[in-house]
């Protein structure tokens, strides 16, 4: 019986070694290298992103196939999260050159939220849409929506309003208003404040609160509108809600970076103090 087990074990080991034999060849064809590269790259799932083992795995995969855009992008991602801008730019440039339909919009997302490089972000969103033949999504966000945020950052509020409205109207028509990103409504309200359309801004904040009823930002910005109108009691009511929900963590925020017009508890307290001295 034992001899049978040893025999089967030997056969199994022989089969496994045969299936891996090509790995140990000194020379591999380009076709074989491209086939093996994703298998080597796949090992990174077991190592922390940006760690030494993960970077070595990526380099091994890169030695097999340097044309793989996903590899270049993965190298860049660890740099993004560590704030190494020059290396991020180099690796993402290589990724976008090789696969713009996949990575142009994603790089635009990074330019927007991580670096606030609005012109480069807009250019990447435009490139992604051009090569794909339609308005694309990157990281789950419409390029029209993110272009709207870019123009908000550039202080071109009419352009920001138009792009945010284009996104909101399309999603509302195609899927229903409840599927609109609520922060697009928040920013559309902010563009209306910037354009002195205060009544319309309040309507927009209330629209956002319909789907996110604890969003501190909307209560805070409604309070700003009421202060501008001299309606201090209404403003104080909104600030009480803004502070309550902010303390519970219900406000617009992102990992790694500060969002445009992000509110802090000090903003709420400062506006309340402003009212008390008015």
pLDDT tens, residue by residue, 20-64 = 555 555 666 656 555 555 555 565 455 656 566 666 677 666 666
More confident residue, 196 or 77: 196
Residue 207 lies in a domain: yes
**How many domains, in total, are found in the chain?**
1
Residue 273 lies in a domain: yes
Residue 243 lies in a domain: yes
pLDDT in tens, 88-117: 889 899 899 999 999 999 999 999 999 999
Mean model confidence pLDDT for the chain: 86
Which residues have CB under 8 Å from 61's CB, separation 6+? 37, 38, 40, 41, 68, 71
| 7 has a pLDDT exceeding 50 | no
Q: Which residues pair with 138 in a beta bridge?
A: 141
Residue recorded with tokens 């919009």: 105
pLDDT in tens, 167-184: 999 999 999 999 999 999
CATH number for position 191:
1.25.40.10
More confident residue, 65 or 255: 255
Containing 196, the helix (H) or strand (E) segment is: none
Lowest-pLDDT range of 41-55, 202-216, 258-272: 41-55
| 249 has a pLDDT exceeding 90 | yes
- 189-201 average pLDDT score: 97
Residue 255 lies in a domain: yes
Give the per-residue pLDDT at 50: 59
Residue 67 lies in a domain: no
> Does the model's pTM come out above 0.85?
no
More confident residue, 14 or 87: 87
CA distance 219 to 240: 9
Residue 113 lies in a domain: no
Residue 249 lies in a domain: yes
Instruction: List Cα–Cα distances, 47 to 41, 42, 58, 117, 135, in angstroms.
Output: 11, 10, 11, 31, 35
CB under 8 A, 24+ apart: contacts of 268-275: 268/216, 268/220, 268/239, 268/242, 268/243, 269/243, 271/220, 271/223, 271/224, 271/227, 271/235, 271/239, 272/236, 272/239, 274/227, 275/227, 275/232, 275/235, 275/236, 275/239
Instruction: List Cα–Cα distances, 159 to 110, 113, 144, 151, 172, in angstroms.
Output: 21, 19, 11, 6, 20
Give the per-residue pLDDT at 80: 83
Q: 3-state class of 167 per DSSP?
A: helix
Domain ranges, residue 218: 181-278
CA distance 86 to 110: 13
Residue 208 lies in a domain: yes
């Amino acid at each position: 019986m034992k001899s049978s087990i040893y025999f089967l074990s030997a056969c199994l080991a022989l089969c496994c070694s045969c299936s891996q034999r090509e790995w140990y060849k000194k020379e591999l064809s380009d076709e074989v290298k491209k086939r093996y590269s994703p298998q080597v790259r796949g090992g990174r799932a077991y190592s922390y992103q940006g760690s030494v083992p993960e970077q070595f795995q990526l380099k091994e995969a890169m030695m097999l196939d340097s044309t793989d855009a996903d590899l270049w992008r993965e190298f860049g991602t660890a740099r993004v999260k560590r704030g190494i801008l020059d290396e991020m730019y180099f690796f993402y440039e290589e990724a976008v050159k090789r696969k713009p339909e996949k990575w142009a919009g994603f790089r635009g997302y990074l330019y927007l939220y991580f670096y606030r490089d609005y012109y480069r972000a807009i250019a990447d969103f435009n490139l992604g849409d051009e090569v794909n033949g339609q308005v694309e999504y990157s990281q789950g966000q419409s390029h029209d929506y993110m272009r709207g945020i870019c123009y908000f950052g550039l202080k071109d509020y009419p352009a920001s309003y138009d792009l945010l409205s284009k996104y909101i109207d399309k999603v509302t028509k195609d899927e229903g208003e409840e599927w609109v990103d609520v922060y697009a409504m928040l920013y559309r309200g902010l563009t209306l404040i910037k354009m002195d359309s205060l009544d319309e801004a309040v309507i927009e904040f209330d629209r956002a609160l319909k789907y996110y009823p604890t969003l501190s930002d909307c209560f805070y910005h409604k309070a700003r509108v009421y202060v501008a109108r001299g309606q201090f009691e209404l403003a104080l009511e909104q600030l009480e809600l803004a502070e309550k929900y902010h303390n519970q963590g219900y406000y617009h925020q992102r990992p790694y970076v500060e969002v445009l017009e992000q509110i802090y508890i000090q903003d709420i307290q400062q506006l309340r103090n402003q009212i008390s001295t008015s």
